[in-house]
Structure 1
């Protein structure tokens, strides 16, 4: 078995695409609208889904953004409630990406933090918030160097 993709259900496809493509730099691979099968797959007879597949530049991670209509009430994933998840990206300059995302108007749980214990001690961590409040963790290992580890 191997990983195919991870999906996030989003409330606004264009807004989420701007965050993940324009902000974080993922590449857009494909976009589509679901066929008649989707009601059965989702367990919602009246659902219509539009989706977009994104990937990291090396293709090692693929993210599907999915927008289902009619839209259901969302939980608040920014509070790390059980049943929610977060994405994590590494081998980037955390402080540089954080500054760019803040300049673009996106939010974060905090400014970048320098952990003093655990596997990233001496590096940098931050949780950004995507437009739906999903946590997106950025990880800069202590030994990361631009052009060497990326």
Structure 2
């Protein structure tokens, strides 16, 4: 059976695409931390390779064991953290919640004198950490540098 392919505007399949509909869709969405985090990554004092690493980290594009298992490069049994803690090795686990590697953040927070950041995701952690300096732009920039150099 042959059928013709066709484009369909998902937000309003009946009426199709309209400029007004696209505008309403874009203006009705709450800005996400994705955009905010990606804007914060590109800091002028951070080497490009560090910024690219952070960009890949926040997009979950690093070769963690979970990602390698998903791509069929490693077997399902090989997805445990390299620290030996027994947890599944994801970017979130390695950089935030691992008892071995994630403990760096407690040391960084005590060094700069800030209270804990509750990370729901790596993006949230980055944005919350950066904005924990209240409204001072210079302090935010400094915290950006600390976060980017700590990952």
Larger Rg: 2
Question: Quick one: higher RCO (CA 8 Å, sep 6+), 1 or 2?
Answer: 1
Structure 1 or 2: more helix by fraction:
2
Structure 1 or 2: more strand by fraction:
1
Q: TM-score, normalised by structure 2?
A: 0.22
Q: TM-score, normalised by structure 1?
A: 0.22
